[in-house]
Chains A and B, each alone.
Chain A
């Protein structure tokens, strides 16, 4: 297949493509900050006081397993934070994100267990990975007590209703004369805290599950197919906040976060009551008992620690330490890149939350299994 014999169209095209590639390589003003995980990290002056860590001086790639398809929340988070962390680990360290989706993230997390424990493999998990672990799902072979957390990130959740329901505050939810349609994905996912809270509060709502995802739920809410809904803080600020501004939707409550054993207000929405607060406000009773303890556990697992980067505890201790200290040093840059209205979790605070996860009381689990079983007829295990 000689170039000679080809039509002139072909030759022209080859010439044009070659020119285009050369121009692209030279780059326009537009692409100066293009980054790629595979490219070496930009040169930074050595931070004063950086001790040579485990990764210093080596040229290596750290595999970051993301047990989800590319493009999802955890994947985007991984691709955002790993290039920054790589800079703080060593001059020639890069991360390689490896997507291993399947079985709701169980497949990828299980796969992580087969990786060598040499300090060059980390795992990114999210709430979907945590739930099977807490509920002792057979197929989930991983155990969080075998992992050491490096960095974690929270996700708040805010609940809102359509303005045409006439509801103006959280307390109005209970007084609603009718049934609020709630669009959800599945009764056993991240929706569980609010389903439990609504139930304990006595909100008149009818959940409809089976929606394909955040986009479909948002469309349903705007159409009026759903009156009551909830989103993560990030998603809300990007989309539904507009509806609140224009007066078509009213925010009523948040999940809140667990701090020192109590649920406190979401720092991104300090004016909104948390769901337990609403309970105390409307019933005059404290939000305590098996139901609200279970709620607190769920908040820990799903909101305090929406996602975590882990390394296996049997990896070399110097590696673990280097990763943790890199996370700490990179914190300001990471928070700016991630752009969440929350601080990222490292060090003792992170470890504290993780310990809470690994030690969920069997009573809470029984309660939740019972709750989901009774109300939704689902078998959680």
Chain B
């Protein structure tokens, strides 16, 4: 792709996007995204489902602006729930809770939020820039990963997250395997055999991810909160001035922001790996590569910064397989694909040809605008919302509980959601009590389906010869390296929120 063509297309896209009505649509999407992210447990899929009916017949640039705007900021606004309440705002954001929530408990909610939002804005912009730069080589890049590569990448993902459980390696592995077992519930990937469904129609599609994530992380947290009867912050809430301190923290660690922001789109581009694990992978890498590791899990601002930067930047990456191949990276992008078709846009190779470029580039611009606006909007809401941490849990927890159950119920609007939610919540309570890490279970659950599918295809297509593929060997060595580095490190104290 010639630089000149790209440049001209970029100019054209700019003139297309910076029209007041189109910017307004981006802001509409951003507002919906902010609200959706704010309520614990909702997330991009709900926002997409809300916006989808309005998209029919819309002018593509406006429609895309709206949808992308929504997608981009749920990862920013979900930080409120993570930091202030200790409940993941969207399915993948538990990683922000690990260091964000302890900071809030120390009365530094404003600082954590300020750092998070600054990192989110930066990360979102980095993601958009990476998307822009990758467009010329995107197709060959995605095509260079065949199914055995994808399988090994899921294994690498599992290994990279293993570092989080250094103190409890055995328990971590077992939890991960349990998660993979849970992921087999439902229909097998390649044939209509049903596993562990016990005759229930609800279980035929497996347990929805949101139900598992919310059940495992929200339930124990809410119960712990009401059990201690203390408000979240034991220190009287400090002023918004701490917000600026957080922003300064993010600036101080700008290298970390940049690095994490770069990982986001790279990982997001891998189809099937899924946004939910990117946060954990980046968290794991951050721990591994940081000098002073003792504070991680107890309120290290770097934990918040790295994760927030990555989870905003990954959106740009996730759109690559979506737009170029129609392979959705997540439930949200799956619905977005439908929205694109409703607007008459066909994802596929045409997107990187000159005629499709303005659309791709307007996506890039929409990401930037939405992230900046969303981040600033969140910063301005910090003051009032931080006061939640001083509310008596007796009043707060019942409302939150209802919200979280409703969010879980959103998954399939079936009784099964609620039953599964409490079932996983019960398991999580027990795990928390006995010091079993829950994150590996979630990771195993997320990666299990993809891993099984890819392994099945690899064996079916290549027999055992895929084990000898160069790229497979390289990724295997990386995985072993990740495990070795994790095993050699000092065991970190078991942290409650993991």
A30 x B57 contact (CB < 8 A): no
Shortest Cβ distance from residue B101 to the other chain A in the assembled complex, whole angstroms? 24
CB contacts (< 8 Å) of B377 on chain A: these are: 13
B348 x A70 contact (CB < 8 A): no
Q: Is A260 an interface residue (CB 8 A)?
A: no
Q: Which 10 A-B pairs have the closest CB atoms?
A: A71-B338, A28-B21, A24-B24, A210-B190, A215-B327, A35-B57, A215-B326, A209-B190, A10-B380, A71-B335
B56 x A103 contact (CB < 8 A): no
CB contacts (< 8 Å) of B191 on chain A: these are: 186-188, 209, 376, 378
For B337, give the chain A residue with the smallest CB separation. A71
Pairs A–B under 8 Å by Cβ, sample size 21: A10-B381, A17-B31, A20-B27, A24-B21, A28-B20, A34-B57, A35-B57, A37-B56, A38-B53, A70-B48, A71-B52, A97-B53, A187-B191, A209-B460, A212-B327, A213-B328, A219-B327, A220-B147, A238-B346, A239-B348, A378-B193
- In the complex the two chains form, what is the Cα distance from A185 to B271 in whole Å? 16
Q: Given the interface contacts A1-B384, A186-B190, A223-B146, does A102 sit within 8 Å of B414 by beta carbon?
A: yes
A378 x B58 contact (CB < 8 A): no
Which B residues, 20 to 49, have Cβ-Cβ distances below 8 Å to chain A?
A: 20-25, 27-28, 31, 48-49
CB contacts (< 8 Å) of A71 on chain B: these are: 48, 52, 334-339, 341
A31 x B327 contact (CB < 8 A): no
For B49, give the chain A residue with the smallest CB separation. A70
Q: Is A139 an interface residue (CB 8 A)?
A: yes
Q: Given the interface contacts A28-B22, A188-B191, does A7 sit within 8 Å of B380 by beta carbon?
A: yes
Which of the candidate stretches A53-61, A72-80, A309-317 sits at the interface with the other chain?
A: A72-80
- In the complex the two chains form, what is the Cα distance from A103 to B186 in whole Å? 9
Q: Is B8 an interface residue (CB 8 A)?
A: no
Interface mask (A157-192 → B, CB under 8 Å = 1, otherwise 0): 000000000000000000000000100011110000
A380 x B192 contact (CB < 8 A): yes
CB contacts (< 8 Å) of B339 on chain A: these are: 71
B56 x A28 contact (CB < 8 A): no
Checking A30, A80, A99, A223 against B143 with a beta-carbon cut-off of 8 angstroms, the contacting residue is: A223
Shortest Cβ distance from residue A333 to the other chain B in the assembled complex, whole angstroms? 13
Q: Is B402 an interface residue (CB 8 A)?
A: no
Q: Is B61 an interface residue (CB 8 A)?
A: yes
Which B residues, 426 to 448, have Cβ-Cβ distances below 8 Å to chain A?
A: none
Q: Is B383 an interface residue (CB 8 A)?
A: yes
For B413, give the chain A residue with the smallest CB separation. A100
- In the complex the two chains form, what is the Cα distance from A159 to B27 in whole Å? 44
CB contacts (< 8 Å) of A187 on chain B: these are: 190-191
CB contacts (< 8 Å) of B142 on chain A: these are: 219
- In the complex the two chains form, what is the Cα distance from A107 to B31 in whole Å? 33
- In the complex the two chains form, what is the Cα distance from A367 to B133 in whole Å? 54
Q: Is B173 an interface residue (CB 8 A)?
A: no
Q: Is B406 an interface residue (CB 8 A)?
A: no
Q: Is B234 an interface residue (CB 8 A)?
A: no
Q: Is B325 an interface residue (CB 8 A)?
A: yes
CB contacts (< 8 Å) of B192 on chain A: these are: 186, 188, 378-380
- In the complex the two chains form, what is the Cα distance from A83 to B57 in whole Å? 11
- In the complex the two chains form, what is the Cα distance from A80 to B377 in whole Å? 35
Q: Given the interface contacts A13-B380, A30-B62, A102-B412, does A210 sit within 8 Å of B460 by beta carbon?
A: yes
Q: Is A104 an interface residue (CB 8 A)?
A: yes
Shortest Cβ distance from residue A69 to the other chain B in the assembled complex, whole angstroms? 7
Shortest Cβ distance from residue A133 to the other chain B in the assembled complex, whole angstroms? 15
- In the complex the two chains form, what is the Cα distance from A101 to B206 in whole Å? 12
Shortest Cβ distance from residue A84 to the other chain B in the assembled complex, whole angstroms? 11
19 additional contacts (CB under 8 A) given A24-B27, A30-B62:
A7-B380, A20-B20, A21-B24, A21-B27, A26-B21, A34-B57, A37-B56, A71-B337, A79-B56, A80-B56, A106-B201, A181-B461, A209-B457, A210-B190, A210-B457, A211-B453, A215-B271, A239-B346, A242-B350
A36 x B53 contact (CB < 8 A): yes
- In the complex the two chains form, what is the Cα distance from A318 to B12 in whole Å? 53
Q: Is B196 an interface residue (CB 8 A)?
A: no
Q: Is B456 an interface residue (CB 8 A)?
A: yes
A102 x B380 contact (CB < 8 A): no
CB contacts (< 8 Å) of B321 on chain A: these are: 215
A30 x B19 contact (CB < 8 A): yes
B338 x A9 contact (CB < 8 A): no
CB contacts (< 8 Å) of A213 on chain B: these are: 326-328
Interface mask (A8-42 → B, CB under 8 Å = 1, otherwise 0): 01100100010011011011101101111110000
A69 x B334 contact (CB < 8 A): yes
Q: Is B294 an interface residue (CB 8 A)?
A: no
Scoring B52, B331, B413 by chain A CB atoms within 10 A of each residue's CB, the highest score goes to B52
- In the complex the two chains form, what is the Cα distance from A220 to B271 in whole Å? 13
CB contacts (< 8 Å) of B342 on chain A: these are: 76, 79-80
Checking A35, A216, A238 against B56 with a beta-carbon cut-off of 8 angstroms, the contacting residue is: A35
Number of interface residues of B (CB under 8 A): 72
Interface residues on A, range: 35 or more
- In the complex the two chains form, what is the Cα distance from A191 to B49 in whole Å? 29
- In the complex the two chains form, what is the Cα distance from A75 to B28 in whole Å? 24
Q: Is B163 an interface residue (CB 8 A)?
A: no
CB contacts (< 8 Å) of B457 on chain A: these are: 208-211
- In the complex the two chains form, what is the Cα distance from A238 to B348 in whole Å? 8
Q: Given the interface contacts A27-B21, A79-B342, A102-B201, does A225 sit within 8 Å of B61 by beta carbon?
A: no
A9 x B376 contact (CB < 8 A): yes
- In the complex the two chains form, what is the Cα distance from A35 to B339 in whole Å? 13
CB contacts (< 8 Å) of B230 on chain A: these are: none
Q: Is A222 an interface residue (CB 8 A)?
A: yes
A33 x B57 contact (CB < 8 A): yes
CB contacts (< 8 Å) of B335 on chain A: these are: 69-71
CB contacts (< 8 Å) of B193 on chain A: these are: 378-379
Scoring A6, A79, A100 by chain B CB atoms within 10 A of each residue's CB, the highest score goes to A79
Q: Is A130 an interface residue (CB 8 A)?
A: no
B412 x A101 contact (CB < 8 A): yes
- In the complex the two chains form, what is the Cα distance from A101 to B331 in whole Å? 13
Q: Is A304 an interface residue (CB 8 A)?
A: no
Checking B22, B187, B460 against A30 with a beta-carbon cut-off of 8 angstroms, the contacting residue is: B22
A23 x B48 contact (CB < 8 A): no
A219 x B143 contact (CB < 8 A): yes
A212 x B453 contact (CB < 8 A): yes
A23 x B20 contact (CB < 8 A): yes
CB contacts (< 8 Å) of B21 on chain A: these are: 23-24, 26-28, 30-31
Q: Is A92 an interface residue (CB 8 A)?
A: no
CB contacts (< 8 Å) of B412 on chain A: these are: 101-102
Q: Given the interface contacts A71-B335, A212-B453, does A7 sit within 8 Å of B383 by beta carbon?
A: yes
Q: Given the interface contacts A7-B240, A13-B380, A103-B205, does A36 sit within 8 Å of B56 by beta carbon?
A: yes
- In the complex the two chains form, what is the Cα distance from A101 to B413 in whole Å? 10
Which B residues, 334 to 386, have Cβ-Cβ distances below 8 Å to chain A?
A: 334-339, 341-342, 346-350, 376-377, 379-381, 383-384
CB contacts (< 8 Å) of B31 on chain A: these are: 17
- In the complex the two chains form, what is the Cα distance from A378 to B321 in whole Å? 32
Q: Is B272 an interface residue (CB 8 A)?
A: yes
- In the complex the two chains form, what is the Cα distance from A378 to B49 in whole Å? 35
- In the complex the two chains form, what is the Cα distance from A36 to B348 in whole Å? 26
- In the complex the two chains form, what is the Cα distance from A187 to B456 in whole Å? 14
Q: Is A218 an interface residue (CB 8 A)?
A: yes
- In the complex the two chains form, what is the Cα distance from A10 to B240 in whole Å? 12
CB contacts (< 8 Å) of A329 on chain B: these are: none
Checking B48, B201, B325, B350 against A219 with a beta-carbon cut-off of 8 angstroms, the contacting residue is: B325
A79 x B334 contact (CB < 8 A): no
